Structure 1
Amino acid sequence: MNASDDTSMTGPAIADEAGANDVARGTGIALWRQIVERIEAEIAEGKLAPGSRLPTEMELAERFGVNRHTLRRALGMLTEQGLIEATPGRGTFIKEPPLRYPIASRTRFSEIVSGEGRAPGGRLVGSRVETASAEIAAALRLPPGAFVLRIDMLREADGVPLTLGSHWYEAERCRDLDLVVAATGSVTRALETLGLGDYRRLETRVTARLADEEERKQLSLPSGRAVLVVDAINGDAQRRPIQYSRARFAADRVQLVVKN
């Protein structure tokens, strides 16, 4: 594409608040590239702060005096560069820097997110009692075929989906835990009601892969994005396993930090 590709509007570009034209025709620089450079500059200058929402496509197209096709090419480039991110149903936002997520003997989502100056959130996605797989039974030191309670949760930071987690517990020991999670939105607070709030990390394994369809849907990820898969075993004061979890983090939204 060159500067003449955008033929839907031939008048001058609409001036920004400072009174200067945002894009100019006839310069040899493609209009979409000028839009990219303009938004890049506003991010660098702090005019567009991390976490702030961009105007709608229609508003941006009007501001820059271009058609929607040209604007979308610019937004696509900014997305590829990791500067902006579209969240279905919410809009397009200036990306926050990756959230530092320490993994230590005591790892608590809400405390970590709050400590980074962001607002934690969470909701129950689903729960059910199922037969433990060989992997889960071994992790929880249960006999083959034992029943476990599975709880799936979506956790957010400042309203942005961060991790989709599946957690398994011995069904008899943690009966009705899912009901408390649904009421409180917190696994930690739910475990505290059972006297298990002081759980500690016994083991952590981290792998990476492309997000599957359900993960892309829940985490609002475009096709081709990766997730960090964190498998963990948490235990009580006697180091008896009480929880096996598999958290899938949006890889570009977190920075996992292993604490010694």
Structure 2
Amino acid sequence: MTKKNTPLYQQIHQHVLAGIAAGRYPPGGRLPSESVLAREFATTRSTVVRALQQLDFEGVISREKGRGTFVKTPSLATTLDMTRIRSFEDEIAEKGATIEYRLLAFNRLKAPVKVAAALEIAEQGEIYHLVRLRLVNGAPAVLENRYIPLEIGSRLTIDALTHHAMYSILENQIGLPVTDVDGLIRVMGAGKEIAGHLQIKAGTPVLVRDYLLSGENRRPLICGEAYFREQYPIRYHIKAVKPA
């Protein structure tokens, strides 16, 4: 319970936190406007702004010019483990989250030069192009952009692509488990198309994982990139191995 002598900006701060905890303001949801909160607490907008600035600093909300103030989705970190291969879906599921897939595109096209080189196919050779959105607890989380050799892509089904992680599909349905992952982690500002799929503002920083998945004998299986919303940072631990 808020004490009567608690400064108003702190009362507003605690009111918003209580609303988030009670589910009145869900992740991704819009908070009442500054003027509405000012009327509710019989105070000035500057007092409300002070409370919101504190919540913004604490990483609880995000304030978007021209759109309003929104509750941030809690972060779900994944772990970069250098001793085993695990999918993003495996990591998130262990934390109790639910994963869904939205298939955006799956078609054949001529391989770009870099893709052909990565997959070790002839230049201008045909490949399958997959664009898929991963949703965590119903909200957009990761946009996949994958390039797949014809002999693998022709064996993928729409049902599999809308229900399963790619690592699982390759191992359990195609019989080609991933044994090597070569990747690069970088940050970029989301373009209009990526931002639209992830439901974020264009220019918002996103984490990008460029990767090449390989199987037995380093056979290239899939290459591409995945774009992650900021709520999905990567935690890592490296253990030094003493020389024999």
Aligned to 1:238: 217
Cα deviation, residue 81, structure 1? 4.7
Aligned to 1:96: 74
Amino acid across the alignment from 1:57:
P
Aligned to 2:119: 140
TM superposition score normalised by structure 1: 0.69
**Which whole-Å CA distance do the structure 1 matches of 2:220 and 2:57 have between them?**
41
1:219 to 188, 198, 203: 198
Aligned to 1:193: 173
Aligned to 1:38: 14
Amino acid across the alignment from 1:78:
L
Q: Aligned residues, how many?
A: 229
Query: Comparing 141-150 with 157-166, which one deviates more in the overlay?
Result: 157-166
Q: Work out the percentage of aligned pairs sharing the same amino acid.
A: 20
Aligned to 2:133: 154
Cα deviation, residue 70, structure 1? 7.7
Please give the residue correspondences for 1:113-132 in structure 2 after superposition, counting only pairs within 5 Å.
113-132=92-111
1:74–1:222 distance in 2 versus 1, CA, 3 Å: farther
1:231–1:183 distance in 2 versus 1, CA, 3 Å: closer
Q: Which runs of 5+ in 1 are unaligned?
A: 1-16, 25-32
TM superposition score normalised by structure 2: 0.73
**Which whole-Å CA distance do the structure 1 matches of 2:135 and 2:32 have between them?**
25
1:98–1:154 distance in 2 versus 1, CA, 3 Å: same
Aligned to 1:228: 207
Amino acid across the alignment from 1:64:
F
Aligned to 2:21: 48
Q: Which runs of 5+ in 2 are unaligned?
A: 240-244
**Which whole-Å CA distance do the structure 2 matches of 1:176 and 1:72 have between them?**
55
